[in-house]
Structures are given as structure tokens and as C-alpha cells.
Structure 1
């Protein structure tokens, strides 16, 4: 609920008491100031009564959480009791399941229509009712009530809330790492080592697991897959299955059911069979026995997640069996136990780009459409939100409209694999809602994706949401304080996909950083601008995120998109750009959508600008609906996107003293890094397409950097000039580097005054080079190439757009003719490497 506007008046800057690591995330339960609680404490309930809570179940967790939360938020130590029959709501917070309440206390008024996991919340003075359709629902209602209190909202409420879909799961991509690392790693995880795995086994210390379960439950997540979809068969050995039981026991109090990803070849890899053919009787028996054993250990086991015949993973196609036959192998084994099989639709083959009609975006429909109706009823086909792979802008996957007889779920990615890897602030709900709110127009009728995945459009009981979350051992959980808003928002949108993105970030900010109006305004403003900004400086008009798809998926490298078999192509040449996905002349992808949508995407006249290059191959001079040409839009968007995030550090600095020091420093470091790295993106993309198209920027920004001094043009001692690859990842294509110690010196020919000195350098893996910048021999700043200690993105061992980084020194007094020197010393495998120095007048962005 939206906090009452009257209360906001009182929420002035509230000074934090102590530093916070982020481990409590949005469940801090910070004490409200007296100006907010005044008049409410005397009229607050004085006890918590829980009806018939099962041992170590969600109802017991609801009770303990309410006690803890109210004590933290209000300073009240309420009595807690568990009773089989205590119906008085006077001065009481009553927590119960609907069935228990009605059998003990009679029917509720009004009559409730609660779905599985739904709840009723009524708060009127000293009388509070939290009634769940099941124990999980009561826990969710308790968390919602605490969220209201933590935001200072004491208004009377009485409403029922139901989840949009029954399946709301987190997908972890954790690896066992038996042979490669002592600590379990996480594919596309930027928050440290696995909380589950260590040296090929499930960890002895699982103390982080219940903390994670608490976070998941607080936003309505009811299941988790604990291991990578690129699964290791050894998870199914007896030792690890005993570990899965321990994990499930720790998640159970929070209503989070545990599932696992399967390696399709496990009967052969682990079971010593000669085959993993899904129709082979010995394989069927192996999986049936293994499933029965899992349910002996974990009776409420959620189910299996399967990635098959994609990116090197084994699957049924190996034996010329269909994907449906593969899914049904597991479905039949698990069905007697009430579990489900989630079968990923992320299946595609390597392609030849010389084939004009080849298109990875077509793969999901090509592989799955003809199988519609062949999947067992407990199979859920999990579809990535777009046809490619978590890009900054994609149309909704057409597969959502091609499986009317099959239950489906949508896969969203909280971990920002292609979108800044938690080192760039990118608030994702506005992106997700472009997909969830997309109308597929199935049979010419309203068919929003959100209503397809809920099961409503095609009348399926199953349906839901998967979020690739990938928390790790870092105190910030996913590697960044601000990025946690995406995890929070995933739960909120899985519960209610029509929730307002701004309302969600406002709620998260109040819970995470407190009630200061300045803090709320700043974080909401930056967050709501962040996705459009990142799209602006990374890849726009539907061209995808122009990152390096062959390496780290992090920095800019548009050339890597083409001339490979992965199919994330731009088909850019010196004259034209974009995928022709029309039916008339291209790959036919537009025709995979229902007719109303297909007709819209078939023609440039009716395709929106933000998807123009997704569906159409056009000249750089093609004029968009905006009136701009494609190439000028590229230049303008990259400059405006980067300009937006240049303001983020100053916005955050304005909050000094209103945010605890630990989180203040960490967030500021990341925002300053993003401001610098966005310029690397801006320049790399703009320079690449300027070279490719030979069309200049009408505003004369590209290749025009009057405040820069190229490092290779300085007076060098100990440094040598080196190439950078891709070349556009260095200003004027060159840098300087040294393995030992070197200096680069220049005379500054600028008017006397105060300047910002910005230095672009490279921070690669393998050491921590050190630097000192001096003015007339006096140091104005030192630093080390040690960002790997502070940032969690996938690092590079090369001088490229991944390793390019920027540091700035503000308010430096310079007189014309001053001598500026940069001293760099390499360390181990890391060279000291510098691209350029920019001497910027106050308020000027390079």
C-alpha cells in the first residue's frame, strides 16, 4: 500500500545511528522516530496470538517475525502465545490459517475468496487479523503488515491479497565446483561464493540459508532451485541428497520449497548406465528410484528444473526423442509425489550468419510449438521473457502465444548478466513490465503476457514466475545495495504484475534506507532513470545490448555480435544495420506472433522505434518515427544516456549524513564507477558506428574531446604505447602500459582555475597496479587497480572495454603551464595502463 501522504510531511532527514552491512536488506526493522509513532503506541495491540501453528512451520515464523519486527520498529515487546482456540481480537494480533480460524472462531466477515498462499489483513486500532489461506499465506500477511509499520503507515486496512500465479520461484545458478574451486562459484553471480556448495558438496555451514529464506518469504517467493541449470550430476549422490534435506529443513519454516536442476545424462554419468535415453526402461527406473529417494528425504520437495539440448547440455534430442518425451520422463516420476517439472524453453542451435533466414529468435517456437499438448499436466515450460537472452530491450517471446495447451512460466533475470552486472544501477521492473504488459492478441482478443503466465488466458492451473537471483556470501547478497531493489521487485511483481514500478521502489527505499524524504526522492529518481539511461548508452532501437557476447558479457564490443554462431546478430555493415525478421523478406520471426501483432511488426511504418532494429534491416540514414536517422539516434542516445548517470554521484553525495557511512561509501563508489564506465560505453559504441558508417555526428561530439590529453602523446619514461582491442575501447585507439614503473608527463595549457582531473586507465585481473598523479611534483591523488576488491562483475585479463575504468579528482587548482605527471607501477600480472587524462572545467562532462 502507498504510505499516507500526511505522514510523509513528518519524515524529514533522519540520521542513521550506525553503519549497516546490508545483510538485513529490506528487513532492517529500524526504529521509527517519535514524530511518526506519536499517538499510535498507546492504541497498539499488546499481544500476538497464533492459532495452531505447526512446529517449525511458516505460522511459527510469522509469530516470531511479528514479535521481532514490532520490537525493532516500535520498541514494543509483545506477549506471544499459541492457542488452539483464542478468538478475541481485542488488543491482539491474531495470526491463523483460514481453516483453523473458521473452525475455531466461526466464519470471517466479509466472506473471503483466498487462493493458495493468499491472505486477509485487517488492522483496525488494537485489533489485527492476519489470516492466510495456508500457513505460507499467513506468513506473507505478517510480512506485509510489518512492511506497513516499518514505513510509518498506521492507517486502518482491511483487504484480501492473492498471488497472481502459484509458482513463484528463485533460480540459483550455483555450481558444486568439485574440481575447479574450493568454494562453490555462481554462474552470472556477482555477490560472492555460493551459500550452498563447497568443494563439490553441500556446505556444513548453512547459516545463510534461513536468512535467505526469510528474504524470499517476505516478498512472496515460495520455491527455489538451488543449483545451476548447467547441472552437475553429483548433486544426486547420496551425500549431497542428505545435504539437500538439510537445506530444505532450513527453508521450510519460511514456506520456501526446494527443487533442483537436473543433468539429463545423470543415469549414465552417475548411475553407470550405458544410456540416458528417456524411453529406455532402465533409465525410467533409475529416475523413478532417484525421485522416490528424494521424496523420502524431502517430502515437500518442489520439483525439477531441466535445461536440455542447449549450450552443450545433454537432452532427449541425443536419442532422437522429443523435448516433450524428455520432460515427461521426469513428470511421470515426480507426479505421484505432487511435484512439478519446469522445462526450460531456452533451446537453440549454432547458426550460420550467411543464411539470411537463420535466426536464434525463432528457436523457441521452432522447438516447442509442435509439442503443444504433448507435455504432461505437471510440466511447466519456462520461457525467457524475450526471444534471445535477457537483453536491455526485446519484444515478448512469441512462444507465450504458441502454447495454448501447455502451462508456462516466465523467466526474468534479477542478476544483471548483460545489464551492468550489479556495477551499473539498472532498476529492472520498468523493463519487465514492457513484457508482462504486452498484449499478444491471441485470436484477436486481449492476451497480456502476465495473464498467460498466470494461467488465466488458456485456463491452466499451473503458471508462474522464475527469477534468476543468484545471491552469494556477500553481505549485500547480490553484490550491490541498490541492486537489491530488483530482487524485492521480482517478488512484488510475481505476486502482482500490475503493481506500479515507482511504488515498488519507493516502498523498498523506505524499508532499506529509512524515511528521509531526501533519500527516498534521490533513490527513486536515479532508479527510475536508470534503465532508460543504460539502454541509451549500451544499445537501443532494439539492437540488443552491444556487449561482448563472446567473453564477459560486460563491456562494449559491438563487433562481437556478428560473425559468430551464437545468433545475437546485428547484421551491421557500412550501409545498413538490424535484423530483417519480417515474413516477406527476412527470418519470419514477426510471423511467429498472432496476426494482430505480426502485422504490426511486419512493417517499419507500424513498428515502434524502440524495436525497429529488432525487426528490420535498414540504412543508417533511415528516418525513424521520431524524425531522427538511425545513426543520429545512436549518437544522441549514447550521449544522453551517459549524461544521465553523470549526475548520479552528485545526487548520492547530497545524502551524506542521511545514509549510514558503510552503505554511503559503497554506493558512492559504484555510482562513480558507473559514471565513468558509461563514458567508455558511449565512446566505444559511437566510435565503432562512426567508423563503420562513415557518417559523422551532426552535433560534432563523436571524436571531439577537446579536454583530453592522450597518454601516448605525453612525455613517457618507462611506459610504452600499446594497442587496445577492440580499438574503440581506447581514446584514439592507443594506450600506454608498463610492467615496471613509468611516468607520463604533460604541460597543461589551460586558463588558471579549478578543474576536475579525470584519468581513464585499465584494471585487469592478476594484480593491483598502483598510481600517483602529481601536479608540479606534488601528489594530488593516489589509487590502485584493485576494483576487483569492490566490484563483482566478470573481470578481464586484457586492455578492453571491460577493464577500462575512470578515476576523478575534483576541485584541483591549476595554473597555465603547470606540469602534470602520472606515475604508474605494475603489479604481478597487472600492468599499469593509462588511456588518457581529461582536464575538465567545472560542470563539464568529457
Structure 2
């Protein structure tokens, strides 16, 4: 009986050792089995020396030891007596090392780092340094990534700095721990037990963000609750800030514009009212007395029912500058969102943000950034870049990407969003001639901006694997990497993530990387091909709903966007329609206006096109649309087949998790195809091409579906 019990315990241990719940994200630090590589790494890192005593340096040392022990084994320190791994900031390094580094420090900024191989005093050295301890920590993570991704470290000469100053996650988390547009559990902020109970997950969150260069977090929803600014909650915010500080992460808060009324006892929130101005000044001072490195406020004002300066016949400049004045003595910033559209404005919704903000260019205070979504509508599977980028040369504009998948199948569907981010960042605004890319607007180089920023709406929840779907960890990772350097390749980022998260085996990397690079195209194909947009179901945005037409505001209805009728489909935004194209530079507008020059993917965004219109491939719009929906379904099927072949390279737990989610995605891709084609066929009155699978349900069936408890709503 004892032998059977021992055998059972051994088997249980073996099974558990091969399980992986995804909690470690891309910081797996798996043991390197390649003996040659392991020997190289062991020889180069055997003697570890740190300089500095700050908490950040202690964290860097702990991370190095954790990573090297995991990847090289606990005996790596005895591999060689002739190598030294040194890290510390510039002020702590010896003169002989500084001389060897030469003018390297002039080539990095305050958050930058240097990783360099040196030969000094008969020994090989690898030096990781920066102007600050935070730069050193970033360098340590990059050095460990080199080993994780099995790159050579024999001759290193790396100098790198972030190209964007403020690199934040926006958490749309509520104080009751629900998450608006959250699909991976509840909020990780346990407000009820804070400040006294500090979940270890907070430290792991900070560590993961630091590893990819994210340096800020907005803790609460843009649809804000003023209670976050009360002393009871500021105690909790302060506790989080103390955890995050050694990792270089500043805390920001979404400020509800009506807070002076709701928690301040005032009768108004008018930004010209002296009592209101004084209230914000005192509240801001109170926050900085608790949190000296507080980053500032994010504000959603006069949008979707949120209060703002327009309630008092003031404008966005009045509201933003009032808060900026309160933050100015403490070097804090205001991130003022440009996501505005009004039920009282009958013009094309895609035009409203530009019309409302561009006339104010140059009027905002120096510590105000206007936060602009990547496209002019709302985080769709595909949008053209927002016309505001490049159109406000006197105002810092920060990008807002959505990492959480509000309109993209939520956490069920695997989609690699850095491919979408890359396409937006590479888009040419032509505002200062050819090459005036969105990336150059964001990093400040196009208009010589000193203050720069980028935001990503978080996909993080308290699910054990953080993002609800292990594949979607790549979107958090990829956002961080592009926030650091918006010129990186999405494909290179995908490879780094795969190597760090799963395996360095090329038989795994190449097929899965190619799969990831096609996922954005697949989702667009089976949801919104050729520039269709915002045809998701009501409220929760889960599944198709192109037929929805009964909502109280026109621009909340999908029919507003696709405008399908017997003549054709699509939103005419050319000079014959809403003339939204005029908001772009002339070179861009000409392309969008011209049916012969516009890309297929933007066609129905800017044109109302006849069903029998012959596209570039000689086929009608209707046939092409049907074929695209089918292609999207087929692409998901191919994703399933690719993943099926990856079983030898992935632990059973994550393999099965992703396998099941891909099966759901395939099922729902067919749902999208069938529901949309049946609906649009009522207007086209054309048969489906032979190669398109015929729907197995009726349009009435799809219209009858209801999801009252869909998550994130």
C-alpha cells in the first residue's frame, strides 16, 4: 500500500511539473537544454556584481538571479572565474569601466540603458548600466530576454532608450471590481482589502510591466466614480503606488469632472468658478502629499453622458487647463480624451472629434496631452488612422490603443493586435510631406514635441493567466514593446514573445508566428470586410448585429454605419457624402476619395458602393464580400490545424486552453459569416458564390439570439 501511495505522489508531482497555468506570462525563464548555448551563458555570467542599494537595484539583482538560476541551473556561478556581470547606474561604476564605456551615456535618456561587453583586468565583463536605477532595471530585463530568446551574448553593444515618455495602461476598472469591457475576470485591484492587504499579484503586475517598459497605470475607469478621490480610496491608491514605485511605474487616476459637486460639497463644477479651481488645487496637493510621484489625471469629459466643461458653456481647453494648473507645481500631466460625439451633432460621427478639438490647437497648457483613439470611430477590427494625428502641430497628441477586445470577439478570439498597432503607427499622415507617419506624431519627432505619451486599454483581470486567453498575453506584451519603440516590427515582437513564453524550437516558432500574423486579417474578414464597421450587437458588442436600428441615438445603431440598401452598401464620406475625407491631408484625401486608388480594406468606410460594382479582381462587391467572410472562417480553421500540430511543443494545460478557445472562435466566425451574409443578402438580392458555405440557420434565428449576461458590459 505504501509503494502505491509513493508511486501516486511521484506521478502527481510529475504531472504538476508539466502543468503551466500561464501566470508567469513571458517571464517563464525555462531551463535551456542546448548545452552549447547554456555553457556560453554560464561562462559569461558566473561572477555577478551589483552596485547600488536602492529598492530598484535590489529588484534588478533578484530578477537576474531568478532568471539565470531558472535558465542556466543553480550551478551557473561556478562555470567560469574569468567573467564578471556588472550592473548599476553611472554614478556607482568605477572610473575604469566608465572610461571603457566612453560617451555611451550621451546616447541614452534618463530611462535608457547600456549593455556592453568589455575586457578589463584580464577578465571579460558584461556591464548593464544607465543614468538611473530604472534604466538599469530595464537593461536587466533586456539582457535576460537575450538569453530567453537564445541570442548570443559574446559581443554585446546595446544602447536603447524609450522613444515615448508616458507609456501607460488604462484600466477600465470600477470600484466594485467589475471591469468595463473586461473579459478576464474581475479587477485585480481588491479595493475592499486595500490598503492593508497587498496581494502579491500587485508586485507581479509591476514586474511584468517593467519588463516591457510600461511606466504608468491609470487605476480606474474613464467612466469614473468620484469616490476614488476621497481619503478612504486615496489610502488604497497610495498603497499601490508604494508597491509600483521601485519598478518605475507611476500611478494616474481618472478624474470625474463633477467631483467638486459629488464629493466636495460645491454647487458647481464650472472650471471658471474660483471655489472649483481652489478645490482641485487642494485635492491635487493632497494627492501629492501622499504620492510624490503621482502622474496626473486622465479625463473623459462631455462624452457618452460623462460630465465636463460643456455643461457650463465652457470648452475642452477650459476644463483641461484648469486641471493642468492644479498639477503644474508638481510636474503632473492631464491626459484629456478626444473621444467625443454628441447626439445633438447630426454630422458624421467620424468627423466630430476632429471638428471639436483641432480648432483649439495651441491653446492647451504645456502639461496637457490630448489622447486620441487610433481610428475615428471606436476600436474597430479595422479603421483608417484618426485624422487628428498630424493635424494639431502645436498640441501633444497621445495614442490610445485598445488591448482588451471589446469589438474583436473579446477574450475568446485569438487576435494578435500589435499587427494592427503597427499598421496604424506606419500610416502616413502627409502633414509635413511624405513620411509624416503617425509614429512620428506620437514620439514627438514630427512637430518637435517635448511631452509624448501612449495609452493602451488593459486586457488584464484576475484570471490566473491574467488575460483570459494565453494567446492574448501577446497583446499586452506587444503594446509595451511598441510603446517603448513604435518603429519595431510586429513580427519580431511576436517571435520574442513566443520564445519567451512557449518554446525556442523553430518547428514551433515559425508556424505559430505566421498564424499570429494572419489573425488580424482573419478577424476583419469574418466580421467587417472591406471597411464595414460597428456592426456588432447592442451594448455588449458580442457577436453580429448589422440589423440593429432601434436604439435611441442614430450613431449607436449599426445601420447608421453600413447604410445597406437595394443600391449598395457603405458610408459615403467623400465630397458627395459627409466629406469626412477633407479632414485628412490632401494627398490622403485624394486616395480615399478615388474608387480606383483606395485600398479594398477602406472601401466601404469611405464609399457607398453598388452590389454589382466590379472590384479590382474583376468580381462584384457582393461576391467579394461573401468570399471574404468565407476566407475569414477558413483562416480560423487553418489556425486550429496549425495549433493541433503544436502539441509536442506546449505544456498540456495551455495547449488545451488555447485549443478549446480556437474551437469557439471557429464556431463564432461561422456565426458572423452566416448572420451577416443573410442580412446583407436581403438588400443585394444576389446568390452566394458556390464556394461559400450555405447558412444552416435562418436570419430570424440569428436575430432572436440574446446574451443578457455577456461579460464586460
Q: TM over 0.5, yes or no?
A: yes
Is 1:106 matched up with 2:106? no
Aligned match of 1:115: 109
Aligned match of 1:211: 204
Is 1:229 matched up with 2:222? yes
Instruction: Sort the Cα spacing of 1:42 and 1:474 in 2 relative to 1 into closer, same or farther, 3 A.
Output: closer
Instruction: Sort the Cα spacing of 1:42 and 1:100 in 2 relative to 1 into closer, same or farther, 3 A.
Output: closer
Is 1:93 matched up with 2:85? yes
SS in 2 for 1:647: helix
2:578 to 566, 584, 587: 587
SS in 2 for 1:422: helix
Is 1:613 matched up with 2:604? yes
SS in 2 for 1:398: coil
Is 1:159 matched up with 2:150? no
* Residue pair 2:412, 2:665 contacting (<8 A) in 1 also: yes
Quote how far apart the aligned CAs of 1:606 are: 2.1
Quote how far apart the aligned CAs of 1:650 are: 2.8
SS in 2 for 1:572: coil
1:366 to 340, 346, 355: 355
Instruction: Sort the Cα spacing of 1:266 and 1:42 in 2 relative to 1 into closer, same or farther, 3 A.
Output: closer
Q: Higher helix proportion, which one?
A: 2
Instruction: Sort the Cα spacing of 1:647 and 1:601 in 2 relative to 1 into closer, same or farther, 3 A.
Output: closer
Q: Distance in 2 between matches of 1:499 and 1:562?
A: 44
1:575 to 557, 567, 570: 567
Q: Distance in 2 between matches of 1:683 and 1:697?
A: 11
Quote how far apart the aligned CAs of 1:728 are: 5.5
Aligned match of 2:61: 63
* Residue pair 1:384, 1:390 contacting (<8 A) in 2 also: yes
* Residue pair 2:191, 2:236 contacting (<8 A) in 1 also: no
Is 1:441 matched up with 2:441? no
Aligned match of 1:323: 316
* Residue pair 1:645, 1:674 contacting (<8 A) in 2 also: yes
Aligned match of 1:669: 660
1:426 to 415, 434, 439: 415
Moved more, 325-334 or 641-650: 641-650
1:74 to 68, 72, 75: 72
Moved more, 201-210 or 326-335: 201-210
Quote how far apart the aligned CAs of 1:169 are: 0.7
Aligned match of 2:305: 312
SS in 2 for 1:94: strand
Aligned match of 1:658: 649
- Relative CO higher for 1 or 2, CA cutoff 8 Å, sep ≥ 6? 2
* Residue pair 1:173, 1:468 contacting (<8 A) in 2 also: yes
Quote how far apart the aligned CAs of 1:506 are: 1.1
Aligned match of 1:244: 237
Quote how far apart the aligned CAs of 1:471 are: 1.1
* Residue pair 2:44, 2:126 contacting (<8 A) in 1 also: no
Q: Higher strand proportion, which one?
A: 1
Aligned match of 1:350: 343
Quote how far apart the aligned CAs of 1:566 are: 2.3
Instruction: Sort the Cα spacing of 1:311 and 1:698 in 2 relative to 1 into closer, same or farther, 3 A.
Output: same
Quote how far apart the aligned CAs of 1:603 are: 2.2
Matches within 5 A, 1:827-842: none
SS in 2 for 1:127: strand
SS in 1 for 2:428: coil
Quote how far apart the aligned CAs of 1:687 are: 1.1
Instruction: Sort the Cα spacing of 1:107 and 1:338 in 2 relative to 1 into closer, same or farther, 3 A.
Output: farther
2:548 to 555, 560, 567: 560
Aligned match of 1:504: 493
Aligned match of 1:474: 463
SS in 2 for 1:258: strand
Is 1:686 matched up with 2:677? yes
Instruction: Sort the Cα spacing of 1:558 and 1:34 in 2 relative to 1 into closer, same or farther, 3 A.
Output: same
* Residue pair 1:165, 1:454 contacting (<8 A) in 2 also: yes
Is 1:142 matched up with 2:140? yes
1:514 to 503, 520, 536: 503
Quote how far apart the aligned CAs of 1:60 are: 2.3
* Residue pair 1:546, 1:561 contacting (<8 A) in 2 also: no
Deviations 1:620-645 (A, max 9, x none): 12222333322111100000110111
1:636 to 627, 633, 657: 627
SS in 1 for 2:625: helix
Aligned match of 1:400: 389
Q: Distance in 2 between matches of 1:279 and 1:59?
A: 46
Quote how far apart the aligned CAs of 1:45 are: 2.5
Aligned match of 2:3: none
Q: Distance in 1 between matches of 2:302 and 2:291?
A: 28
Aligned match of 1:171: 170
Quote how far apart the aligned CAs of 1:285 are: 0.7
1:701 to 692, 695, 704: 692
- Flag structure 2 segments of 5+ consecutive residues without an equivalent: 1-14
Q: Distance in 2 between matches of 1:263 and 1:634?
A: 43
Instruction: Sort the Cα spacing of 1:95 and 1:169 in 2 relative to 1 into closer, same or farther, 3 A.
Output: same
SS in 1 for 2:101: coil
Quote how far apart the aligned CAs of 1:286 are: 0.6
Q: Distance in 2 between matches of 1:363 and 1:94?
A: 54
Q: Distance in 1 between matches of 2:94 and 2:337?
A: 41
Matches within 5 A, 1:808-823: none
* Residue pair 1:401, 1:593 contacting (<8 A) in 2 also: no
Larger Rg: 1
Aligned match of 2:9: none
Quote how far apart the aligned CAs of 1:575 are: 1.7
Quote how far apart the aligned CAs of 1:368 are: 0.3
Quote how far apart the aligned CAs of 1:59 are: 2.5
Deviations 1:404-425 (A, max 9, x none): 1001110011111101112111
* Residue pair 1:562, 1:571 contacting (<8 A) in 2 also: no
Quote how far apart the aligned CAs of 1:198 are: 3.9
The alignment yields a C-alpha RMSD, in angstroms, of: 2.5
SS in 1 for 2:474: helix
2:369 to 356, 380, 387: 380
Aligned match of 2:28: 28
Quote how far apart the aligned CAs of 1:311 are: 0.6
Q: Distance in 1 between matches of 2:28 and 2:344?
A: 49
Q: Distance in 1 between matches of 2:26 and 2:314?
A: 47
Quote how far apart the aligned CAs of 1:34 are: 4.0
Aligned match of 2:5: none
Deviations 1:47-80 (A, max 9, x none): 33222232x2x32221111111111111146789
SS in 1 for 2:548: helix
SS in 2 for 1:343: strand
Aligned match of 1:817: none
Is 1:532 matched up with 2:532? no
